[in-house]
A and B are shown apart, each in its own frame.
Chain A
Amino acid sequence: MPGMSRSGQVRPNSGKLETILNQLIPADGRSFRYAAWGVVLLVLVHLCWLQLRPESELHQIYAFATQSTASRTALMQYEQLDRIADQTGNGNVLLKLAGYAKTNPVVENSLSFVYFRTSYALYPRRLYVAPADQVINNGRDMMRIEFSPSQQWLHEHDVRSVFTFGNDNAGGETLRLEILPPRDDQAGMPTNKSGGN
């Protein structure tokens, strides 16, 4: 019971508080309940109305469910990286930065996406972008490290392909996958496959 302790005695302070508040908000319970219903129905109707807008979540979900052109475009970059991960065979992969990608902060976000997504798609195989002791939290960290491992390091870490992320001459971002020759065939030429975008 409000204003009462569990032993059934009225607590003096809470009773005083209620008396003060009763004077400040002098409406009966029924009108309060009607007001509450009005507010709740208004909120519910407003939420339903929000979903009728063309940019609403309902429309986005519908676009994905029906595989509209817009949703397929949105998924394309994910599928491209997943496909590249599939093309790398059984070994691990080295992520190399080329051109502007080594220094241009504009590509930080794209670089993060490429590293995060491809690492996820490849696991339990690995995508190396830095020595084992370096902390990578974002694209800037990868740019700062400028990782360029030796052939021996690549062999030790079972790296069988190189994934190059860089800018082309027109300023776009490109992805190239290069499958390294088998270890016992050092004289062989690398095979180029393009992930392209």
Chain B
Amino acid sequence: MALLACCLYLLLIVLVGYTLLSVIHPSSRMTIVQLIGLGPAVGAGTMGLLLFWASLIGFAPSRKVLAIIGVLTLASLLVMKKKNRLAQIKILATDWEKGDGWIVVPLVVTLAGLAMIATGALSSPLVEWDAFAIWGFKAKVLTYEALRLTPAYFHDPTLSYSHLDYPLMVPFLTSGAYAAMGTVDDQTGKLVSAFLDVLIVPMVYLGLRWKLRRLPAACLSAILAMLPVMFRYAGVGCADLLLAMFYAGSILYVARWIDRQQWQDLILAILFSAFVAFTKNEGTVLALMNGAVILGFGLCSGRRRDWVGAAAFFMGLLAMDAAWLIWSRSLPRTHEDYGSKLLSSALVTHLPRLKEIIPAMLVQIAEFNVWGLLWIMAGVMALLGWRALTRPYVLALWILLGLHLLSYALAFSVTPWDLTLLMPMIMDRLLLHTVPAVIFLAGWHWAEMGTGWRIAESALR
């Protein structure tokens, strides 16, 4: 029964996402991959924020709250259906091409990987330390109490180890599952974690398909699904893969906006960036970087539309995360508090620690048992498809990846933890956040091999 309730909750998430996508892309044609990848991703982020806002006005996640969201969603769908504005679903994005039959191989590999993740998630309760001490704990708190009168938990320094100031996307999504089930059952609740974490694979596939043919995109997605680090962190109840999934969406639509200047892309970039900022503290920095890159490329192009887009991005981001930013301002920063440290003079005094941190990052990406040959592959692809560097959206992604790695190196430099203990413990998890960018770059460089040569030659003539 609990499992069924959990599945209904996931269905609601998918419906919310489909509704929003239909609002953003009215009367468009949506592929199956968009439906199962993009829809639940948008739905999950929206559900997390909706439950947070409801809790702020005094309603902790409950079946009643979920029923209201469900009724509103169905009503919206009915209205859009009547006005013929619902997104249509089609099986294939483009016609079947020669050699696409081989897609069955990466598809089987991907499904095997995802099945392993789901099995692993459901066969044990929350056992990862961060999963129960931080995210699971918060989910329990939010299930029992609304945020209107801030629960005592959030101001209790004896629970500082659970990072009182961490954002609440994962706890609210888990709490929503507990509400649907009518009980706090963390083993069944891990189904939500597994479902949301594996969404990164269709999300990355969508980003690759934007520029690549079906077969190479499927192969690169299979590589993502089979990464040992995916098995290590997917479905365990932590926020890292959810962050990586939202981040994949945000950088994809930032890149598309830079390339095509379509408002729909900008809206999705804003949505995903807002979700990223509400998932982990580092997400706020990543969202601001997305905005900075949109602004930077807008300034370079000098066109009014790009300027307005950058301003709209920052305003949209602020509007969506304002409640969290205001509410969380009073939370005690009794542990890491990277935000204040990175903005203080401590950053300069700790810069010499980068001499220790950067080599450790390089050593980590050479861990074949964790990453396979992913990073080497990305380097080789960038070299072979170097012409892609002339594309603004590829350049933008390289800049985002560089800023991402730099921000993590700087955060390590001001950490209160012992670096020799901390880095081996969490380096793989943090670098996991960059994996979507790395795979997109590999794919987008691949797309420029051959065709890029001809285009470049003709452009020079």
9-residue interface stretch from B117-125, B195-203, B403-411: B117-125
What 0/1 pattern do residues 132 to 155 of A give for CB contact below 8 A with B?
111111100000000000000000
| B64 on the A face (CB < 8 A) | no
Min Cβ gap A135→B in Å is 4
CA distance A131 to B156 in the complex (A): 10
Whether B453 lies near A28 (C-beta < 8 A) is yes
The closest CB in chain A to the CB of B121 belongs to A61
Is B453's CB under 8 angstroms from A29's CB? yes
Interface size (A, Cβ < 8 Å)?
66
CB distance B133 to A116 under 8 Å?
yes
Closest to A49 in B: B372
Give the distance in Å from the alpha carbon of A50 to the alpha carbon of B373 in the complex. 11
Contact A57 B228 (CB under 8 A): yes
B123 and A40 contacting across the interface, CB-CB below 8 Å: no
Contact status A112-B373, CB under 8 Å: no
The closest CB in chain A to the CB of B461 belongs to A10
In A113-128, the 8 Å CB interface with B consists of 113, 115-117, 119-120, 123-124, 128
**Docked pose: A91 CA to B118 CA in angstroms:** 36
Among the listed B124, B133, B160, which residue makes an inter-chain contact with A120, where contact means beta carbons less than 8 Å apart? B133
**Distance of A93 from chain B, by nearest CB (Å):** 13
- What is the distance, in angstroms, from A53's C-beta to the closest C-beta of chain B? 9
Per a CB cutoff under 8 Å, which of B132, B144, B220 touches A116? B132
Alpha-carbon distance A18/B334, docked complex (angstroms): 52
Interface residues of A in 21-45 (CB under 8 A from B): 21-22, 25, 28-30, 32-33, 35-37, 39-44
Query: Given A57-B232, A132-B156, are A64 and B386 also a contact pair (CB < 8 Å)?
Result: no
B450 CB–A CB distance under 8 Å: yes
B232 and A40: CB pair below 8 A?
no
Interface SS of B by simple majority: helix
Interface residues of A (CB under 8 A from B): 1-4, 6, 10, 14-15, 17-19, 21-22, 25, 28-30, 32-33, 35-37, 39-44, 46-48, 50-51, 56-58, 60-61, 64-65, 67, 71, 74-75, 78, 82, 112-113, 115-117, 119-120, 123-124, 128-138
For chain B residues 435-454, which have a beta carbon within 8 Å of chain A?
Answer: 446, 449-454
11 A–B contacts from the bound complex (CB under 8 Å): A28-B450, A29-B449, A29-B452, A36-B384, A40-B216, A43-B372, A47-B227, A50-B228, A57-B120, A61-B119, A115-B161
Contact of A61 among B116, B161, B373, B374 (CB under 8 A): B116
Within 8 Å by CB of B219, from A32, A44, A65, A134, lies A44
Q: Which residue on chain B has the smallest CB distance to residue A121?
A: B132
Return A58 CB to nearest CB of chain B, in Å: 6
6 smallest A-B Cβ distances: which pairs?
Answer: A29-B450, A2-B390, A57-B231, A61-B120, A47-B226, A116-B133
> Which of A4, A61, A113, A128 is the one whose CB lies under 8 Å from B158?
A128
* CB <8 Å contact, A137 and B223: no
Please indicate the chain A residues that have their CB under 8 angstroms from the CB of B452 in the complex: 2, 29
Which of A18, A58, A136 is within 8 Å of B116, CB to CB? Answer: A58
- Do B373 and A46 touch across chains, with their CB atoms under 8 A apart? yes
**Chain B residues numbered 314-338 whose CB sits less than 8 Å from any CB in chain A:** 334-335
| Complex interface: chain B residues within 8 A of A82 (CB) | 125
Complex contacts, A35 vs chain B, CB 8 Å: 380, 384
Q: Which of A4, A47, A116 has the most CB of B within 10 A?
A: A47
- For A21, the chain B residues whose CB sits under 8 A away are 386-387
B372 touches A47 (CB 8 A): yes
B21 touches A (CB below 8 Å): no
B304 → A minimal CB distance (Å): 13
B309 at the interface (CB under 8 A from A): no
Chain A residues lying within 8 Å of B129, measured Cβ to Cβ, are 113, 116
| Given A48-B109, A133-B157, A135-B160, A78 and B391 contact (CB-CB distance below 8 Å) | no
Contact with A along B128-157 (1 / 0, CB 8 A): 010011001100110010000000000011
